[in-house]
Amino acid sequence: MRHRKKTIKLGRTTSHRRCMMANMLKSLIYHGRMTTTVAKAKVLRSYADKMITLAKKNTLASRRRAIAKMMISFNPLTPKEARKAREGNLDAYNEDRHVMNILFNDLADRFAQRNGGYTRIIKGSNRVGDNAQTCVIEYLEN
């Protein structure tokens, strides 16, 4: 019996679930919306709302917690990439750096006056292969 257990397991091991949520969270922040199943979206919603709360605090500790939760990897730049970055070309960085900029600059400013409920789940049709109900999860406009 799973009385008083909050973790929704989604039929995956702990490490697989953590990596999957980190990847889904990075995709949601980078693109603003994504299509997935309803069960995954409901779990992802709590992670996404907590990331916005961390971004609104905007401290060094909150940045480090966000990096740890999303498993951000700041790979060192090659000399060619470093030269492009110095010239102002932000495409030299990997997507993880863009995710942190979007989270702490754009999304934190967008939701500065809002006290929660940053995401919306819009249910869609059933998937063809396994008949799982799909949905779109997205950040609200304001």
pLDDT tens, per residue, the chain with 142 residues: 989 998 899 999 999 999 999 999 999 999 999 999 999 999 999 999 999 999 999 999 999 999 999 998 877 778 888 888 888 776 666 778 889 989 999 999 999 999 999 999 999 999 999 999 999 999 998 7
Residue type at 62 in one-letter notation: S
The CATH superfamily holding the domain 14-139 is Ribosomal protein L17 (3.90.1030.10)
In the prediction, which pLDDT does 2 show? 87
Is the backbone of residue 61 left (phi > 0), alpha (psi -120 to 50) or beta? alpha
CA–centroid distance for 124 within its chain: 21
Report the pLDDT value the prediction gives residue 92, as an integer from 0 to 100. Answer: 63
Quote the DSSP letter at residue 76.
P
Three-state DSSP class for 80? helix
Tokens of 123: 């249910």
First to last CA, the chain: 41
